[in-house]
Amino acid sequence: MMTGEMTTMKTEKVNIRTIAVTGMLGALATILMFLEFPIPMLIPPFIKFDFSELPALLAAYAMGPVSGIAVCFIKNVINLLHSQTGGVGELSNFILGVCFVLPAGLIYKKKKTQKNALIGAFAGAVLMAVVSVFSNYFIVYPVYTNFMPMSAILSAYQAINSNVSNLWDALIWFNMPFTFVKGLCSVVITFLIYKRVSPILKGTGR
């Protein structure tokens, strides 16, 4: 009986810690989402770069894919308070975040090796990049055209690459590689810091 009670208490302690750390990483992701910035000359100015997927990837590795998804959910729910797209941009961001952290977390959870972590993160970045094309085409840009005509949107892309003739071209030539590189940046930083922060996130060290 005593052993069972101790196991239950330990499980509850782990669950509480997981929830708390997930919430903290969600708050960090929210802050990073606010610190977005444009990349002049490479992508139209209305497309911004941020590192808000980084805490979600850390959570997926340290505590599992559900925790990573929860971080994506938290940052977008909080950003709904400042949404300029009626929540559509946040919905798309959440979908892409899940596409990124779910494969990474699942593959790493199956066998926790550096190789699996890299394979999972790369697969997530590829999936996120591909899904971004359809997410932008069917979810985001139909709303953006209420504020900016499609001709103006395409002109912003054409100012960088005159070969862009329609929205599909723009999304495939610009948004897809941009999203992939954005994911890879989070992967690189995660691999640089994960060994140091993992014990803190898991509660196994200082």
Q: What is the pLDDT of residues 10-50, one digit of tens each?
A: 455 568 889 999 999 999 999 999 999 999 889 999 899 99
DSSP 139: I
pLDDT at 85 over 90: no
Residues in a beta bridge with 38:
48
Residue 140 CB: number of other CB atoms within 10 A? Answer: 19
pLDDT digits (tens, 9 = 90+) for 119-149: 999 999 999 999 999 999 999 999 888 888 9
Residue ranges of domains in the chain: 2-34+45-202
Q: What is the pTM of this model?
A: 0.89
pLDDT in tens, 50-72: 999 999 999 999 999 999 999 99
Tell me what the pLDDT averaged over the chain comes to. 91
Q: What whole-number distance in Å separates Cα of residue 189 and Cα of residue 108?
A: 17
| Contact (Cβ atoms closer than 8 angstroms) between residue 140 and residue 85 | yes
DSSP 147: T
- What is the C-alpha radius of gyration for the chain, rounded to an integer number of angstroms? 19
Give every CB contact of residue 43 below 8 A, 6+ residues apart in sequence: 49, 160, 174, 178
Check pLDDT > 70 for residue 199: yes
What pLDDT score was predicted for residue 8? 53
Q: Between the ranges 42-46, 138-142, 175-179, 202-206, where is the mean pLDDT highest?
A: 175-179
Q: Which amino acid is at 40?
A: P
- Using the predicted structure, report yes or no on whether residue 205 has a pLDDT greater than 80: no
Tell me, what's the pLDDT at 82?
Answer: 85
Assign domain 2-34+45-202 to a CATH class. Answer: mainly alpha
